[in-house]
Structure 1
Amino acid sequence: MAEEGRFYNADWMGSLPASLTKMPLSFLAVPGSHDSFSYWIDVNAPVGPDQPQAVKQFTGVFRSLGRKMMKKWSATQSLTFNEQLEAGIRYFDLRVSSMEGDPGNDIYFLHGLYGMKVQEGMAAINSFLNEHTREVVFLDFNHHYAMADECHIRLIKMLQEIFGPKLCSTMPVESITLQYLWSSKYQVLIFYHHPLAHSYSFLWPGATIPAPWANTADVTKLVQFLEATRGERPRNGTFHVTQAILTPRFKNVVRGLVGGLKGSLVERSLPVIMEWVKSQKPGASGVNIITSDFIELDDFATSVINLNNLLLEENSIT
């Protein structure tokens, strides 16, 4: 889609037909981004604790050049949080870490290399929600690195302070509809993959949002995996994330030193992935949240949002 047309999905949830806003949110098709924060990565920061020792040794030898090479494969998004939101993204894949020696004891986003402070990213999302009061986001904190309990508590307190009354407390998934959320003025569902989630009413345990991972660089195997896991989706009790993403292997990185993840893997495989996405149907046994790398490519968000029209057609028949 042309650059100027990229942002027209800023209010898509608020613009859905009334019949869809009464359906469980777990039945709707919702676009999401993979490693949502990775549009900004600090090549001057140390390699993160999520990386194996071999990678740390490599960057220790090649220093700045090594980290710049890592960035080409760690960055899975080009658009900022606000641009993703305006494009229609409503699910955010978030991985966080403390940073050894950080004087402010801040929590940072992390994917190989450190990203921005989590507080800055959440403030940007909250600012969007203040202006678009009928839009709802899923914030999935699914990986935590170098996080002692006090780090978790500090992060959880920060999230509570930023989002306040927008936070939706846990309840049966099937009870969560847009109509319910609007009537309660809730706009944020936080999923927290750590035992501490059970200590806070506004943190949804990770088990309520499974996200099967194909872990392959082969697009044919990815599509086979997506078909299989969609068929295994629980009919009740959870949201569901379909990760329509490829995971590079070492040989992909070596062959794509110049093009990086986007030019060497994502753009080449995207036609096949998008053909599968556009053939899907939401609903109790269909797709729910679908995530992608570089969501600006092929107008991914709009393609996912448009799947909800199939639910309208189904209602008109019944």
Structure 2
Amino acid sequence: MAMSTGEVTSYSDWMSQLAPQLQDTPLYKLAIPGSSHDSMSYDLDINSTIIEPDELKKLSPILCARELVRTAATTQDVTITQQLDAGVRYFDLRISRKTNDPEPNKFYFYHGLCTRTDAETVLRDINDWAGKHPKEILILALSHFKDFDNNIEELHHNLIESIKTVFGAKLCNKVSTQDPFPTLKSCWDKGTNVIVSYDYSANQEPELWPRITYYYGNSMEPATVESKLESDLHMRGPNAQNFFVCGLNLTLPEDTRVLKYILNPFDKLTNVIKRSLPRMLQWLKQQYSQTPYINIVASDLVTCDDFVSTVVQLNKPTPTCVEA
């Protein structure tokens, strides 16, 4: 039940607790916490071949190499349901098939390695949660689609049909330039609470949204990330009318410098990420106070350092947010 004060007391249902003035605000104007670097990275399969980085692919047969990749690639340490319960509403879901998989129509998530759990099982878990929390709007961003080179159209068709079957009437259709952008209230009225972004240009399904722009610093240095995000947000401006992600996450190099972080026995990547979070959250609050047009904010290790509460608390009614 929405609270007239707009005070959030439970992050498992924070959208339903926002101030009534915000219920008619387009979703691209709400601050929404999200998880980055594949939301399923807690479930990586040590028996999977190495998908990335390229520098280590040839070492896939070596167990210790796969263990190193799994350690470095585990950027989320709690399950998808725990992330949902914590208040996360945007999910970075990178799709792959497993090499030489005897089940060609089975899909997995990946970050360095494939996950143990297949995609349909996880989507059904998300659907079950969405059914129990009908006023919480979930945004699922599916992308990358590794090992889709053969039978690409058939594979996309099968995955899309699976998505439509799992979520059914919960799916919120993408909008055109003539359509009003979804709000909390419009989703509640229609009984829809799942938005699926599908990053494949040939996708024409009305139930699936196009790629959501993701701004990130592409660096392991917080100062560089902040500077790049400030530039991107300035270039975007306050008037664009679509979803976008501001990624607070650090990003590993794509060349041999990645080994510095993967092979360092004294400073795990998760520790590096945790040290950066308080600073990044302080930057977020300062940035929002100066240019209040933040939408989705994504991070690694989303249950650390008050990440969710910091993002959610950015949602304050303004003079331009009036009730219909």
Instruction: Confirm or deny a common fold (TM above 0.5).
Output: yes
Per the alignment, residue 281 of structure 2 pairs with 274
**TM superposition shift of 1:274:** 1.3
2:164 paired with 1:157: no
Per the alignment, residue 221 of structure 1 pairs with 224
- Between the aligned partners of 2:91 and 2:23, the Cα distance in structure 1 is 21
Per the alignment, residue 8 of structure 1 pairs with 10
- Specify every segment of 5 or more residues in structure 1 that has no aligned partner in the other structure, as ranges: 1-6
- Between the aligned partners of 2:217 and 2:287, the Cα distance in structure 1 is 18
2:210 paired with 1:205: yes
- Specify every segment of 5 or more residues in structure 2 that has no aligned partner in the other structure, as ranges: 1-8
Per the alignment, residue 3 of structure 1 pairs with none
Number of equivalenced pairs? 301
1:32–1:292: 8 Å Cα contact kept in structure 2? yes
Q: Secondary structure at the match of 1:304?
A: helix
Matches within 5 A, 1:117-156: 117-147=118-148, 148-156=152-160
Identity, % of aligned positions:
30
1:266–1:293: 8 Å Cα contact kept in structure 2? yes
- Between the aligned partners of 2:242 and 2:22, the Cα distance in structure 1 is 18
- Between the aligned partners of 2:264 and 2:319, the Cα distance in structure 1 is 44
Amino acid at match of 2:265: L
Amino acid at match of 2:30: L
Per the alignment, residue 169 of structure 1 pairs with 173
1:230–1:285: 8 Å Cα contact kept in structure 2? no
**TM superposition shift of 1:99:** 1.3
Per the alignment, residue 302 of structure 1 pairs with 309
2:112 paired with 1:112: yes
**TM superposition shift of 1:256:** 2.9
Per the alignment, residue 186 of structure 2 pairs with 180
- Between the aligned partners of 1:127 and 1:257, the Cα distance in structure 2 is 40
Amino acid at match of 2:308: A
**TM superposition shift of 1:174:** 5.2
Q: Secondary structure at the match of 2:58?
A: helix
Amino acid at match of 1:166: K
Return the TM-score normalized by structure 2. 0.87
For residues 205-249 of structure 1, the C-alpha deviation after alignment (integer angstroms, 9 at most, x for no partner) is: 11xx21123211111111111111111225233211001111124
1:29–1:288: 8 Å Cα contact kept in structure 2? yes
Specify whether residues 114 and 282 from structure 1 end up closer, same or farther in structure 2 by C-alpha distance, changes over 3 A only: farther
Specify whether residues 218 and 268 from structure 1 end up closer, same or farther in structure 2 by C-alpha distance, changes over 3 A only: same
Give the superposed CA RMSD: 2.2
- Between the aligned partners of 2:196 and 2:29, the Cα distance in structure 1 is 18
Specify whether residues 113 and 214 from structure 1 end up closer, same or farther in structure 2 by C-alpha distance, changes over 3 A only: same
2:246 paired with 1:242: yes
**TM superposition shift of 1:259:** 4.0
Per the alignment, residue 33 of structure 1 pairs with 35
Structure with greater helix share of residues: 1
- Between the aligned partners of 1:251 and 1:67, the Cα distance in structure 2 is 13
